[in-house]
């Protein structure tokens, strides 16, 4: 009964081009942004579509592509306009000159998820090409990467976010370069992650005296059939380290021990003791969750598909609370066996150092302020890990 052919405005006369190479696009604007960024080409002065945000209005229309040249917005040529003015105008009809006549559809799509190791707020980032197009996130957020076409600015969505439009985030390479320049230690993103629901193994590193033994003991008592611990042993000859006259420095000892696949080691009354990977395997073959506390540098050795560790960092509360809660505690090195001010300070410094260097490897951080609260937090974290789904490095899913 009615013709629905598009009623498009005639091509402007000033456009000295062939009609077939021009697209006239009419987008009815609602509250949603267009989902594209534009830039002025330094050489030609033309306004070019810099990128299309995945899942945004422009992307869903399928009509606009990066590299397209914008000629006119709402019937007004864009030649004298700044990119900011154009993008903010309440545009309804845009005229585009396509960069190519045959735009290849994006037909393959690999799902990539990353865990952020830093907070990011595009409003405070002077490097981002368009702040409005940026995606803010917090350390620990899981990001679904929608596009890595641009080496500097990736497009991502927060996992579980209902908004289909992707936002700009700094790429891994770009962020790591910034971190290097600003001397921030931790890297940008954790490796790719997938949702997998298996976990066997569990351990908690933390500064000495923070309360790991106490928490481990409570867990063991709570369910001895379910949890297990390793018993350190001294390496037997010919690897008896006490017979090595030159093994005086822990460093040399570390190198030899790591060759022997020892997770941790220490010296007691002139003998070296350690926990080997085989001891851990022994606990795991009994189908128990192995509780182990190690120094953070050993996490890398254990962070494999075989062990699938869930790493909990137990950290001390603030100094005042340490003083209050540890009044009767036997803490490490002080002469009267009670926690001294230096012990507390050392514990806090060590915890801070560990967190800044290894924080990206911790799945959970528990502040051991009140022991009962810390313990129930640990118990419920464990329960969630064993019964729910969880993000793990993609390499764990290949085994």
Q: How far is the CB of 321 from ligand ATP (least distance, A)?
A: 9
Region binding ligand ATP by CB under 6 A among candidate stretches 104-112, 330-338, 348-356, 357-365: 330-338
Q: Is 326 in the site for ligand ATP (CB under 6 A)?
A: yes
For helices 371-387 and 212-222, angle between their N-to-C axes, nearest 10 degrees: 60
Q: How far is the CB of 337 from ligand ATP (least distance, A)?
A: 9
Count of CA atoms in the C-beta half-sphere (13 A) of 247? 17
Q: How far is the CB of 194 from ligand ATP (least distance, A)?
A: 33
User: Cα–Cα–Cα angle for 210, 216, 217, nearest 5°?
Assistant: 110
Query: By C-beta, is 304 or 325 nearer to ligand ATP?
Result: 325
Q: Is 365 in the site for ligand ATP (CB under 6 A)?
A: no
Region binding ligand ATP by CB under 6 A among candidate stretches 70-78, 171-179, 300-308, 329-337: 329-337
Cβ-proximal residue to ligand ATP, closest one = 211
Q: Is 318 in the site for ligand ATP (CB under 6 A)?
A: no
Q: Which of 144, 186, 325, 350 binds ligand ATP (CB under 6 A)?
A: 325
Q: Is 346 in the site for ligand ATP (CB under 6 A)?
A: no
Hey, which residues between 191 and 220 contact ligand ATP (CB under 6 A)?
208-214
The 10 Å Cβ neighbour count of residue 159 is: 15
Q: Is 315 in the site for ligand ATP (CB under 6 A)?
A: no
Q: Is 180 in the site for ligand ATP (CB under 6 A)?
A: no
Are 315 and 344 in contact by the 8 Å Cβ rule? The answer is: no
Q: Is 371 in the site for ligand ATP (CB under 6 A)?
A: yes
Are 322 and 316 in contact by the 8 Å Cβ rule? The answer is: yes
**C-alpha to C-alpha distance for 29 and 35, rounded to whole angstroms:** 11
- CA-CA-CA-CA torsion sign (131, 132, 134, 137): positive
Alpha helices by DSSP H, listed for the chain, are 57-61, 83-88, 172-182, 212-222, 250-259, 277-285, 299-302, 319-325, 341-358, 371-387
Query: By C-beta, is 99 or 213 nearer to ligand ATP?
Result: 213
Q: Which of 38, 50, 78, 331 binds ligand ATP (CB under 6 A)?
A: 331
**C-alpha to C-alpha distance for 241 and 341, rounded to whole angstroms:** 35
Q: Is 332 in the site for ligand ATP (CB under 6 A)?
A: yes
CA dihedral 360, 365, 368, 369 (to 10 degrees): 110
Q: Which residues here bind ligand ATP, judged by CB under 6 A?
A: 208-214, 325-326, 329-332, 368, 371, 374
């Amino acid at each position: 009964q009615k013709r629905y052919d598009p009623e498009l405005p005639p091509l402007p006369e000033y456009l000295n081009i062939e009609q077939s190479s021009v697209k006239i696009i009419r987008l009815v604007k609602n509250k949603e942004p267009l989902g594209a960024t534009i830039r002025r080409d330094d050489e030609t002065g033309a306004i070019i579509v810099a990128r299309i945000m995945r899942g945004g209005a422009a992307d869903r229309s399928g009509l606009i592509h990066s590299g397209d040249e914008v000629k006119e917005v709402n019937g007004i040529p864009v030649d004298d306009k700044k990119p900011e003015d154009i993008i903010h105008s309440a545009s309804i009809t845009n005229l585009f000159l396509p960069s190519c006549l045959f735009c290849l559809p994006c037909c393959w799509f690999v799902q990539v998820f990353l865990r952020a190791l830093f907070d990011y707020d595009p409003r405070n980032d002077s490097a981002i090409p368009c702040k409005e197009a940026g995606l803010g996130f917090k350390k620990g957020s899981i990001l679904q990467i929608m596009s890595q076409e641009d080496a500097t600015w990736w497009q991502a969505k927060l996992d579980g976010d209902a908004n289909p439009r992707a936002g700009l985030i700094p790429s891994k390479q770009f962020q790591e370069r910034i971190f290097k320049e600003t001397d921030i230690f931790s890297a940008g993103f954790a490796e790719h992650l997938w949702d997998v629901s298996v976990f066997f193994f569990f351990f908690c590193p933390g500064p000495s005296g923070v309360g790991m033994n106490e928490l481990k003991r409570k867990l063991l008592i709570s369910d001895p059939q379910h949890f297990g611990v390793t018993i350190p042993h001294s390496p037997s000859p010919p690897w008896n380290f006490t017979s090595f006259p030159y093994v005086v420095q822990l460093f040399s000892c570390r190198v030899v021990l790591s060759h022997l696949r020892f997770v941790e080691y220490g010296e007691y009354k002139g003998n070296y003791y350690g926990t080997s990977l085989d001891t851990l395997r022994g606990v795991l073959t009994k189908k128990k969750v192995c509780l182990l506390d190690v120094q953070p540098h050993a996490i890398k050795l254990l962070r494999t598909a075989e062990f699938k560790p869930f790493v909990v960092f137990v950290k001390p509360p603030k100094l005042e609370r340490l003083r209050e809660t540890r009044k009767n505690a036997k803490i490490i090195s002080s002469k009267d066996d009670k926690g001294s001010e230096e012990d507390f300070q050392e514990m806090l410094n060590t915890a801070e150092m560990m967190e800044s260097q290894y924080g990206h490897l911790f799945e959970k951080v528990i502040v051991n302020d009140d022991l009962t609260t810390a313990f129930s937090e640990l118990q419920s974290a464990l329960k969630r890990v064993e019964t729910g789904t969880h993000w793990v490095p993609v390499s764990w899913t290949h085994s």
